Chain A
Amino acid sequence: MFHREAGVFKTTYAADMALYPLPVAKWTVAALALIFAVIVPLTLHDYYLSILNLIFIAIVGALGLNILVGYTGQISLGHGAFMSVGAYTAANLAVRLDLPFWLTLPAGGLMAAAIGVLVGIPSLRIKGLYLAIATLAGQLIIEWTINHVPAISGGAQASIEVDRPDLFGLVLDTQGRLYYFLLFFAVLAIVATLNLMRSRIGRAFIAVRDQDIAAEIIGIDIFRYKLLSFAISSFFAGVCGVLYTYYFGIANYEQFQLGVSIDYLAMIIIGGLGSVLGSIFGAVFITLLPIVIRMLMENVGSLFFSESDLASVVSGTRLAVFGGLIIFFLVIEPEGLNRLWRNVRSYFRVWPFSY
């Protein structure tokens, strides 16, 4: 990541495919682990931890969507709805059967995966924008169903309160405790995706994305892999929805409406389609940027505007700056922040002898 590969020669395919391409990378990972597991939670204020917590949840969701859109090339506008499926499954199990989170969480994921496969069936016949509309229909149908079936939604309010997750008697109710809870699942999701993508399944996904007819000719079962991609992606979305549910303490379908699906699409497009690091960058970017812009504007703006005018100026310009920055980054590098990062890195790799 931050190091050079001088003197390292790979002699086997296994070495080339390793998660750590260089021996020294182990130290980078160890350092990152130390920073995020020890230093960050001990030094940062709860407020910053709460932002990180939102980012961790977003990472899980963005990774899931990237598996589908970035790696398999199937577009989905139903990601928010899959989250709500996971959220309501977990909430119902937690409240009615009093199950702990380590059972409700995979259950939420699996239920979302099942629904995801169902919504993904049209992908076998249609592609691109047509599929986008088909999944959009899925989003709306799921929203409507939750809104109108009290057995799922728990009444007219369509919201189910859940207790904080409980780990061997330790109630995870502070931002610090939730930090570790969510960090664990974010890391799990990252490692799982990295491994998935260097497996046979991941390669099949990429083959389907690049040219599905060619993929079929070389023996990849398109039917199976497209639906598998929907299932895995929705599983991540479901888990993401469960994490939101435990983090907010409530499952509410209004938290997972179409806007959320679009936010997550924005994350992976800005971060970089078909890359794990890109999903992380995207999640960080979309969550953090509005906050950073607001903080800067509040500080800079107080030089120009009175306190009463500032509020309206900040929210108006924030959107403009946010949109402007998204365009700026995409124009610089249409392949997203991940590619930008790789460009910077490869520049420094040979620096100062660039020729």
Chain B
Amino acid sequence: MRRFVKSWLGLAVATGSLAVATSAFAQGKELVFGFQCDRTGPTATVGTALCPGYHDYIGLVNSKGGVEGYKIRVIEVDNEYKVPPAIEAHERFKKEGAVLEGLYGTPQTAALNKKLEEDKILGTSPGFGTAAAADGKRFPYTFPIAASYWSQAGAAVEFAKEKMGGLKGKKIAYLFYDNPAGKEPMPILEDLAKTEGFELRTFAVPAPGVEMGSQVTDIVQRFKPDFVITHLFGRAPSVSIKELKGKGFPLSKVVAFVWGSAEADIIAAGGMARAEGYNTIQFAGVGKDFQVLKDIEANYKAQGKSAPKEMDSTVYYNRGVMIAALHVEAVRNAIRAKGGATPTSEDVKKGMESVKGVTLGGLLPPMELTPTDHEGGGWCQIWTVKGGKLVKAKDWFQGYRAVIQKHLAADASKS
């Protein structure tokens, strides 16, 4: 027992001394960004590629002297897709004086909406949270900064229309993960089904989404649709590719929402070669053919390191770069607006609301963020699997923008 108590005391002393030796950061001109990530939770497949992209872009900016002379320090917190750690992360960012933060996860975004507004720190939630958050009046400090599920639904239908040369009398199946995010696009799809005159039937996949044999059989053999739109998460997209392919449905008549669109999903379904024709919606550019990615590689080379393997997972990695680029741009606008003085988080919010024309050579859509539109226009691209890799099938476009805006306005007037 005595030995045991001693070892305990030893541990306590060691812990205490380490806490005292907390790193003292060089306090130059520095801005702090908070970034939440999930590298170990249920969406780790996304986080492990997306988050390095974010860090690498910030590292690239810092290596070139920072933003308008300000170095950026990123504090990353892995929230494991749990809500309490996300709250803790936000408070930590606030304590460290973060001027903005990147959110991660839909329930986490929901739990932080109010806090962001109270603390006047903007949070970006690309691909998370609700479509209604695009409305800057209702959610002043939440910025989806990427096509919401509503916009993606519009894009999917428009793509289907183009592929089939009209929608009148056609049948579209919607295969979705049975959670709020999966159900969110339905009002848009139902509305479009009415106005465009196609028949829509929905097929829910219960969590965790690895078993959808009966749904796919239903789709392929009973409903016999002309097009399938899938909106799945985690392991489910790969299962859907496998099942649809296995039941003989042509993948060229399938289009997936943004979380079923990564190389990893397709490879897990049996490889790129087997998924020939599979269509994916993207809110950031895909592939390595961008100057900024070459710069990041060069930056690694300059430090005597090779480029990280995460860069090969271009769908998620590029999304990380996109988020970082928009963060940097918001801060740049804020610093310029203040004539070089250190911006506050509220200045940065105004800066984000004036982001326009940042495309990084096509990696970002031609989006325009305004005080009322925090989504930036809802731009999407379609990339198709062709010859073993993803190939751009349709450049940046806004699917049924007027319909989406009508729904946003209706939703705003309801609350």
Question: Given known contacts A157-B130, A254-B106, A254-B180, is B94 in contact with A47 (CB within 8 Å)?
Answer: yes
What's the Cα separation between A267 and B111 when bound, in Å?
23
B78:A249 contact, CB within 8 angstroms: no
Known: A173-B118, A248-B87. 16 other contacts (CB 8 A): A47-B94, A157-B184, A161-B113, A248-B83, A249-B113, A252-B110, A255-B110, A292-B15, A295-B19, A296-B15, A299-B22, A311-B52, A312-B52, A315-B39, A316-B39, A318-B78
What's the Cα separation between A250 and B186 when bound, in Å?
23
* Per-position 1/0 for A314-331, Cβ under 8 A of B: 111011000000000000
What's the Cα separation between A291 and B92 when bound, in Å?
10
A114 at the interface (CB under 8 A from B): no
B295 at the interface (CB under 8 A from A): no
A218 at the interface (CB under 8 A from B): no
B114:A249 contact, CB within 8 angstroms: yes
A158 at the interface (CB under 8 A from B): yes
B222 at the interface (CB under 8 A from A): no
What's the Cα separation between A51 and B118 when bound, in Å?
18
B343 at the interface (CB under 8 A from A): no
A98 at the interface (CB under 8 A from B): no
Q: How large is the interface on A (under 10, 10 to 19, 20 to 34, 35 or more residues)?
A: 35 or more
A308 at the interface (CB under 8 A from B): yes
Can you list 26 residue pairs at the A/B interface with Cβ under 8 Å? A47-B95, A147-B180, A156-B187, A157-B130, A158-B180, A159-B110, A173-B118, A175-B91, A248-B87, A248-B111, A248-B112, A248-B115, A249-B111, A249-B114, A250-B111, A252-B111, A252-B180, A255-B110, A255-B111, A299-B22, A308-B55, A311-B37, A311-B52, A316-B39, A316-B40, A347-B2
B82 at the interface (CB under 8 A from A): yes
B21 at the interface (CB under 8 A from A): yes
Question: Given known contacts A296-B15, A299-B21, is B85 in contact with A290 (CB within 8 Å)?
Answer: yes
CB-based nearest B residue for A50:
B91
What's the Cα separation between A292 and B56 when bound, in Å?
26
A300 at the interface (CB under 8 A from B): yes
State the majority secondary structure of interface residues on A: helix
What's the Cα separation between A142 and B184 when bound, in Å?
20
A343:B1 contact, CB within 8 angstroms: yes
A247 / chain B contacts, CB cutoff of 8 Å: 87
Minimum Cβ distance to chain A for residue B390 (Å): 25
A308:B56 contact, CB within 8 angstroms: yes
A249 / chain B contacts, CB cutoff of 8 Å: 111, 113-115
Question: Given known contacts A54-B84, A254-B179, is B77 in contact with A344 (CB within 8 Å)?
Answer: no
A54 / chain B contacts, CB cutoff of 8 Å: 84, 87-88
* Per-position 1/0 for B296-314, Cβ under 8 A of A: 0000000000000000000
A316 / chain B contacts, CB cutoff of 8 Å: 39-40
A343 / chain B contacts, CB cutoff of 8 Å: 1
A47:B22 contact, CB within 8 angstroms: no
Minimum Cβ distance to chain A for residue B41 (Å): 9
A128 at the interface (CB under 8 A from B): no
What's the Cα separation between A302 and B21 when bound, in Å?
12
A210 at the interface (CB under 8 A from B): no
B183 / chain A contacts, CB cutoff of 8 Å: 156
What's the Cα separation between A316 and B2 when bound, in Å?
34
Minimum Cβ distance to chain A for residue B99 (Å): 17
B26 at the interface (CB under 8 A from A): no
B110:A250 contact, CB within 8 angstroms: yes
Minimum Cβ distance to chain A for residue B33 (Å): 12
Contact of A291 among B4, B52, B88, B94 (CB under 8 A): B88
* Top 6 A-B pairs, shortest CB-CB distance: A249-B114, A315-B78, A50-B91, A248-B111, A254-B107, A47-B95
Minimum Cβ distance to chain A for residue B352 (Å): 22
A259:B87 contact, CB within 8 angstroms: no
